[in-house]
Amino acid sequence: MRAKNSEVKQGAAPTADRTFTEAARRAQIVNAAIEVIAEVGYAKASFSRIARQAGLSSTGMISYHFAGKDDLMREVVAEVLRVADAYMRPRIEAHTTAPERLRAHIESNLALLDVYPKHLHAMVEVLTGVRGESPSAGEFRAATDTLLDTLITAVRTAQEAGEFGEFDPATMVYALRGSIDALVMRAAHDPDFDAAAHGRRLADLFDRATRSTP
């Protein structure tokens, strides 16, 4: 019985190694894609550019791990969302009031530009560059709508609790996301962009716009 168990363990190791190696390679390609998209834009982010950025000898390694550019872009968006959530969530949840959480949401979102300077830019490029007929376009729209709906619900709940004033929650959230996206695009072309300062100013602006007044 011991010999049989030993054979199972010995046979499992290469599979585990392959799985780990493949996951690491996929992550390497996704990170290279983020760098390239942020640098040259979605339209010019070819497999050849991404392969060079990743240090791969050919584009075949990308095609082995991803069904096509659309598949790779889906993973790029997923990775940026994962990174953003891991960075922003604890900073937002450290606060208890709606105004404090709104400020933390805005400031941590802009702070991502300093911590992960290419991620947000790459995501905006992908979301604006993917064409309507692309299989992932609908998925991206649905994911974006879900995020917006979550924010709208949170704002409406805060209004009902008296933490925010009277305004249309959807309009306010659309204005907020549009402002953040515009600053992200500005940061990509402005070497002197001060993400922390813009985060504070934008937070001040929306704090005044949403404030509950007696």
Place of tokens 């709906």: 149
Count the residues in the chain. 214
- Helix (H) or strand (E) holding 41, with range, is none
| Residue 169 near residue 84, CB atoms below 8 Å | no
* Tokens coding 113: 């530009």
| Residue 173 near residue 151, CB atoms below 8 Å | yes
* Tokens coding 48: 């050849």
Q: Where are the beta strands (DSSP E) in 1-88?
A: none
- Nearest Cα neighbor of 79 from 123, 49, 141, 21 is 123
- Helix (H) or strand (E) holding 33, with range, is helix 2-40
| Residue 42 near residue 125, CB atoms below 8 Å | yes
Beta bridge partners of 211: 164
* Tokens coding 126: 């992908």
Query: Would you write out the chain's pLDDT as a tens digit for each of its 214 residues?
Result: 334 444 434 444 456 665 888 889 999 999 999 999 999 999 999 999 999 999 999 999 999 999 999 899 999 999 999 999 999 999 999 999 999 999 999 999 999 999 998 998 898 889 888 876 677 777 888 888 898 999 999 999 999 999 999 999 999 999 999 999 899 889 988 989 999 999 999 999 999 999 987 6
